[in-house]
Amino acid sequence: MYKAAPNNPEVQITPKAHVFCTKVQGSLATVHLSRSGSLEPTLRSVLYSFYRLSSYLTCARIEANLTLEFVIIVNPNNGPGSEPWWPNVDYVREISRLNAYSNVRTVGYVHTSYCKRSVQDVHFDIEKYAGWSKDTRYPGLGVSGIFFDETPNVFSKTTEGYLRAVTENAKQTIDVGGDALVSNLYKDSQCQHAEFPFKTIHNPGTSMDQRLFVPGLDVATISEICFAEFKTQEYRDWLATSPLKREETSFMLYAVPDEEVEELIGNLKERAGYLFVTNRKTDAYHAFGDSWKRFIAAMAAA
């Protein structure tokens, strides 16, 4: 079930796209992320959800799509988790396994409660994630990015200052000296993706004021919505106000009919570098939808 191919030094495959998943309160929610040196490879970005990190389907999809980079957001306990629950044996084992894949990036989940959570608490979560890679008891544990959930989309000096502070803190705390964390994380794991740059992602879930795309931010999810509402002209007009570039943009759509998946991806790939599509109408991030394989195949062929 779990193949050794990702650790084979003879396997040298350059990722052509990236996949993003996240674990939220006991189940894997998702956000997607993709970036590449040219337009065509970036179109192959994939975002997907899965119920368990150790799921056979997860490993199988990763191994079957080595030209896609899977960016997996891990959220042990609405954040990095605390003693005595953390370190958790299951998370430690599976995060290390995922980090061993040459086409996987793990990213730590941090909620901001729309900037109502204290900056100190957010910084504390970031510091805990940064400490993972330094824990000599667990080789291969660590993250190479931070996913900030529940970020606001309406500008104010207060929200701008908050987002600037936590984003810069993530870069400085985890990405000291360029790719220090990434290099430290993978140097002993036989992993081939130490060149991956650190990533920060915000999730306002809707079009955002450009002034909130603060220094250090890489990607924002500006559409997290059901397909029926996404198709309305009113929503499309609102989405058109987004000032973000394609490579800075993420869409997450749920309740998408199976027969619409391929066409939808074809239409969206020019607008967003990161896409997540599922046919699930409820608990969209808590389990595989029936359209999951179809989505992966469509993204790989895009």
Give residue 190's pLDDT: 40
Whether the upstream peptide bond of residue 6 has omega within 30° of 0, thus cis, is no
The confidence score (pLDDT) of residue 53 equals: 41
Q: Is 265 left (phi over 0), alpha (psi -120 to 50) or beta?
A: alpha
**Residues of the chain under the 70 pLDDT cut:** 1-59, 175-196, 302
Contacts of 126 (CB under 8 A, 6+ apart): 108, 110, 146, 166, 169, 170, 173, 174
User: Can you give the pLDDT at residue 157?
Assistant: 98
Beta strands in the chain (DSSP E): 17-24, 27-29, 46-47, 68-74, 104-111, 145-149, 199-203, 219-226, 249-254, 274-277
**pLDDT score, position 196:** 57
The total number of residues shown for the chain amounts to 302
Return the pLDDT at 210.
95
The CATH architecture of the domain made up of 5-301 is: Alpha-Beta Barrel (3.20)
DSSP strand pairing (219-226 vs 249-254): parallel
Q: Name residue 20's beta-bridge partners.
A: 47, 71
69 contacts 298 by C-beta, under 8 angstroms: no
Give the separation between CA 75 and CA 79, rounded to whole angstroms. 5
- The residues spanned by each domain of the chain are 5-301
The pTM is what?
0.79
Please say whether the dihedral angle defined by the alpha carbons of residues 131, 86, 75 and 79, taken in this order, is positive or negative: negative
Residue type, 104: V
Q: Enumerate residues 6+ apart whose C-beta is below 8 A from 169.
A: 122, 123, 126
pLDDT score recorded for residue 59: 67
**Backbone angles phi and psi of 179, in degrees to 5:** -110, 40
Q: Which pLDDT belongs to residue 104?
A: 81
d(CA 260, CA 13): 31
